[in-house]
Structure 1
Amino acid sequence: MAKTVHTVAVVGAGKIGELVLSGLLRSGWPVDRLLATARRPSRAEDLTARYGVRVVDNLTAVAEAEVLAVAVKPQDAAALLDDIGPKVPADKLVISLCAGLPTTFFARRLPEGTPVVRVMTNTPALVDQAMTAISAGAHATGEHLALAEEMFSPLGATVRVPESQQDAVTALSGSGPAYFYLLVEAMIDAGILLGLPRQVAHELIVQTAIGSAVMLRDSGEHPVKLREAVTSPAGTTISAIRELEKHGVRAALLAALEAARDRARELATQAD
């Protein structure tokens, strides 16, 4: 925790905004230094009941918070910024959690010189295992990036990347958990096909996924070497890998991530 705790307002506390709120609270961020905005009164009541945060309107958030974490849907960002933009002081840090939207999108709608930091995190933030990529806009300084890291590092790991790489980050890690869940779902189904009870198949695959991920993180080995260590000559694993390659799994993943990257770029175009 920094010596000075800034007041943070999560503007548009939907799924991603709630991840940020809950993560900051778990990290020890004082609840009286957190604000949220929500479109529906029922959502506001739910956030206050669950987290004790004060839910305010957008202009109050602008007036009271030192950091605005904008977490609205990309298609709603232009209307939001048209509304609050003229009221945002040029020295207030704006953190964008809007998938696909470049910092220039914000710069055009905020006072000249407003620092903007673009952030892409993912849903494992719920268990403090997120991967968060952080990029500086034209007027963001190292101090602004450090503040963003302070906010998001309790949610998991952080990395600084050039903003030109953020659409790729969105495709790889922002959407990444869904790919793993799909793979696990398919492997559980395969276990059932092979005669295992669903719960046993689930337990086997989930623990295998956790163990494999920890080995990837902690061993320092390239994934090829770890895969080769499991792949004996003429064994069961190489037979399975041959089928995966025959069905184009690697090519499908490459195409899927390119599609996700392209969709992130489309979101920016549509939001304008």
Structure 2
Amino acid sequence: MLRNYKIGFIGAGNMTEAIVRGITTKTNPALIAVSDINEARLDMFKTQYKVGQANIDNKRTVDFCDILFIATKPQIIPDVLDELKDDIGDRLVVSIAAGVQCPTIESHLPEGTRVVRVMANTPALVMTGATAVCAGSHATDDDVDLIKSIFELVGVCVVVKEDRMDAITGLSGSGPAFVYMFIDALSDGGVNMGLTRANATLLAAQTVMGAAKMVLETGVHPCQLKDNVTTPAGTTIKALHAMDKAGFRPAVIDAVEAATLKSRELGKTKKDD
């Protein structure tokens, strides 16, 4: 599906690298262009990924591509789009900037420009990302399906309405940080009970990965999987009782809500600006 498209990236950060790594498993690296002011990053894309172009000129990247990814920091998105709007033509524009809504992006581009917005997360760097995509006013179903197929190369991807993107940010965008905190706490628990830090962290991380894989590959509800581990009057039920007393579940729910509300606030601020 990707073989016929030239793909450009404005911004050479970690998410661009994750996407390029995935794309190059399915298409010729010569069909990829990257631009950025960081020449060291550009050199890495040239040497490690063998991309067709890597330069500091954003307009060269636009001229090169059929699909243009905007992968800069959210606060400079308007300036970047204003710089490039006269060169966009009929290209599909994809934004991976957190909190920047499709109407905001479209307002800085020619009328009728097809825009797809993406919320990805950092595990895409190790090909286990969780991504959501939504369509702007003029993007077609085929556009959305194409971008979804790209992000499925670096993990899983769902299609949502834009009014759900803040919740996606709160859940899977911020979620890795919650999981890292949980892994660190599990490791601390192991150390507290006499394990070495190295063993405790290794076992904690593997336990989280294995449990997540059980959910994804079995299709069994997490509560049923929990019950499968929990024997009457055993160690696990005692631990779960302690977690409930400490407010573990509501704390996680509150964390997703807090991140969602902050994303909503940031989106309104950018729109008002």
- Shared fold by TM > 0.5? yes
How far apart are 1:87 and its partner, in Å? 2.2
1:88 correspondence with 2:88: yes
CA shift digits 1:47-87 (9 cap, x unpaired): 32322222131111111211111111111111111211232
Which amino acid is the alignment partner of residue 42 of structure 2? A
Unaligned runs of 5+ in 2: none
Aligned partners of 1:94 and 1:115 also within 8 Å: yes
**TM-score, length of structure 1 as denominator length:** 0.93
Partner of 1:62: 62
Which amino acid is the alignment partner of residue 239 of structure 1? K
Tell me the percent identity.
Answer: 38
Aligned partners of 1:10 and 1:21 also within 8 Å: no
1:160 correspondence with 2:156: no
1:125 correspondence with 2:119: no
How far apart are 1:166 and its partner, in Å? 0.9
Aligned partners of 1:69 and 1:95 also within 8 Å: yes
Secondary structure in 2 matching 1:148: helix
C-alpha separation between the residues in 2 aligned to 1:267 and 1:8? 29
Partner of 2:150: 151
How far apart are 1:253 and its partner, in Å? 1.1
1:138-217 equivalences in 2 (<5 Å): 138-217=137-216
RMSD: 1.5
How far apart are 1:45 and its partner, in Å? 2.3
Secondary structure in 2 matching 1:237: helix
How far apart are 1:265 and its partner, in Å? 2.0
For structure 1, which segment, 158-167 or 202-211, has the greater mean C-alpha deviation from structure 2 after superposition? Answer: 202-211
Aligned partners of 2:15 and 2:124 also within 8 Å: no
C-alpha separation between the residues in 1 aligned to 2:153 and 2:86? 32
Residue of 8, 12, 26 corresponding to 1:28:
26
Partner of 1:45: 43
C-alpha separation between the residues in 1 aligned to 2:62 and 2:203? 49
Indicate how the Cα distance of structure 1 residues 208 and 138 shifts in structure 2: closer, same or farther if over 3 A, else same.
same
C-alpha separation between the residues in 1 aligned to 2:238 and 2:97? 43
For structure 1, which segment, 190-199 or 15-24, has the greater mean C-alpha deviation from structure 2 after superposition? Answer: 15-24
Which amino acid is the alignment partner of residue 96 of structure 1? S
**TM-score, length of structure 2 as denominator length:** 0.93
CA shift digits 1:148-170 (9 cap, x unpaired): 12322111212111111111111
How far apart are 1:145 and its partner, in Å? 1.0
Which amino acid is the alignment partner of residue 75 of structure 1? Q
Partner of 1:266: 265
For structure 1, which segment, 188-197 or 201-210, has the greater mean C-alpha deviation from structure 2 after superposition? Answer: 201-210
Partner of 1:113: 112
C-alpha separation between the residues in 2 aligned to 1:43 and 1:129? 23
Which amino acid is the alignment partner of residue 244 of structure 1? M
Aligned length: 269
Secondary structure in 2 matching 1:188: helix
Secondary structure in 1 matching 2:233: coil
How far apart are 1:19 and its partner, in Å? 1.4
